[in-house]
Amino acid sequence: MARPAKKKPSSDTSRLPVGRVTESHGRHHYVRAADGSLYEAHRRGKRGDVVVGDLVRYSEPSGGIVAIEEILPRETLLYRSDEWRVKELASNIGQVAVVFASRPTFNPWFIWKALLAASKAGIEPLVIRNKTDIAEGADETVRALALLSSLGCRTASVSAGNDPEKALGTLEPLFHGRRTLLIGQSGMGKSTILNLLIPEARAETQEFSEALDLGKQTTTATRWHGFGADGAIVDSPGFQEFGLEHLGLEDVIRGMPDIARHAFSCRFANCRHLTEPGCGVKAALDAGEIDPKRYEFYRAMAERILRRKAYPA
C-alpha cells in the first residue's frame, strides 16, 4: 500500500503567528511569542539561517516545540567574518554598545573594528567605558574615549559594578526605547550592564543555563531580553578577533570620519592613502591632524583588503 504523502506545510505562512528569536544554539532556538510565552523552536527545512533578533513565523507541530517556517525581512544584521565564515551577531538591532574597561586590558582596534562593522550595517554605535572605579590603566581608557568623542561617536563612562545607581542614571536614557546589542571583549562588564538595566535578566539567564547545561560564570550565548515596550537589550559572549573580511576599502574610509574628512583633497581620485603622491590624508597625518594610531589602523585594514584583492582565497 502506498504510504500517504507527507503533508506539505502550506506555503501561505502569512496567517502564522510572529515571534522573536531570543536565543540560538545550532539547531535549537528559542522564540518569544507575542503573549510572552517562550517556545523551543526548530527551523523547518533549512538550517543555519536563524539569527538572534529575527522575527519569525512559526507553527506548532508537537510537544510545545514550534517550527520556524519563515524569517521575516531583517531591518539590520550585524556580523563579523573571517576568511572562512560569517558569524552573525544579531539582527534587527538599532544600536550597538561596545563595552570596554582598563582591566582586563582592552584592545582599541576591537572598538574601532566594531565601529566599522556598525557603520557597514547602518547601526548606530555607542561606546561605554566601564569600571571607572579602577585607577590602574584609567588614563588610557579616558584617552581612548576622548578620541572616540572627537570622531563624533556617542560615549558614556560608568562603573556598573561599583556605582550601579549612577550607572543606571547614565545608561537608562541611552538604552530606553532602543534595541541594543552589547558587545566587547570578555570580562568588560556587558552582562553586569544588562543585569543593571534588566534585573530579571539574571534569573532568565540562569534558567537558560540550567536547561542547556551551560556554564553560568560568563556569557556563552547571545540572548535577547525585552526592555520596556519596544526596546531590547541583547547580551553576547565576549570575543577577541573582530574579523571584517566583508568590508571593502570604501567601507573602511566611510567608517573612519577622521580619514574620510581628508580624502577629498588627494591628487588622484582613486587614491588609497597609502603611498600615493599628493595624498591629503598623508598630508593631514604629517600635519598632526590625524592620530598616528588611527592611521596605522587604517593602513593595516587597507593593506589587508588590497592583499585579499590581489590573492583572492
CA–CA separation, 192 and 222 (whole Å): 15
CB 189 within 8 A of CB 158: no
Q: Residue 251 has which C-alpha cell?
A: 567601507
Question: With binding defined as CB under 6 A, does residue 130 bind ligand GTP?
Answer: yes
Out of 31, 90, 167, 271, name the contact with Zn ion by CB under 5 A.
271
- Residue whose CB is less far from ligand GTP, 188 or 281: 188
Question: With binding defined as CB under 6 A, does residue 137 bind ligand GTP?
Answer: no
Provide the 3-class DSSP secondary structure of residue 208: helix
Question: With binding defined as CB under 6 A, does residue 237 bind ligand GTP?
Answer: yes
Question: With binding defined as CB under 5 A, does residue 130 bind Mg ion?
Answer: no
Provide the 3-class DSSP secondary structure of residue 300: helix
Out of 78, 279, 284, 290, name the contact with Zn ion by CB under 5 A.
279
Question: With binding defined as CB under 5 A, does residue 273 bind Zn ion?
Answer: yes
Fill in the per-residue mask, 163 to 192: x = in contact with Mg ion (CB under 5 A), - = not in contact: ---------------------------xx-
Identify the sign of the CA torsion 146, 148, 151, 156. Answer: negative
CB 233 within 8 A of CB 198: yes
Provide the 3-class DSSP secondary structure of residue 296: helix
Question: With binding defined as CB under 5 A, does residue 205 bind Mg ion?
Answer: no
Give the C-alpha distances (Å, rounded to integers) separating 169 from 175, 187, 198, 230, 283. 11, 22, 13, 20, 43
- Residue whose CB is less far from ligand GTP, 184 or 255: 184
Question: With binding defined as CB under 5 A, does residue 281 bind Zn ion?
Answer: yes
Question: With binding defined as CB under 6 A, does residue 238 bind ligand GTP?
Answer: yes
What 204-209 contacts at long range (C-beta under 8 Å, 24+ apart), as own/partner pairs, is: 205/235, 208/23, 208/30
- Residue whose CB is less far from ligand GTP, 35 or 165: 165
Identify residue 245 by its one-letter amino acid code. Answer: E
Q: Residue 131 has which C-alpha cell?
A: 569600571
Stretch that binds ligand GTP, among 23-31, 84-92, 112-120, 179-187 (CB under 6 A): 179-187
Q: Residue 246 has which C-alpha cell?
A: 566583508
Residues 39-78 that bind ligand GTP (CB under 6 A): none
Angle, CA 71 vertex, CA 70 and CA 73 arms, to 5°: 130
Question: With binding defined as CB under 6 A, does residue 189 bind ligand GTP?
Answer: yes
Residue reference for cell 517556517: 69
Question: With binding defined as CB under 5 A, does residue 219 bind Mg ion?
Answer: yes
- Residue whose CB is less far from ligand GTP, 16 or 98: 98
Q: Residue 122 has which C-alpha cell?
A: 547602518
Interface with Mg ion by CB under 5 A: which residues? Answer: 190-191, 219
Residues in contact with Zn ion by the rule CB under 5 A: 266, 271, 273, 279, 281
Note the residues at the interface with ligand GTP (CB under 6 A): 130-131, 133-134, 159-162, 184, 186-192, 218-219, 237-238
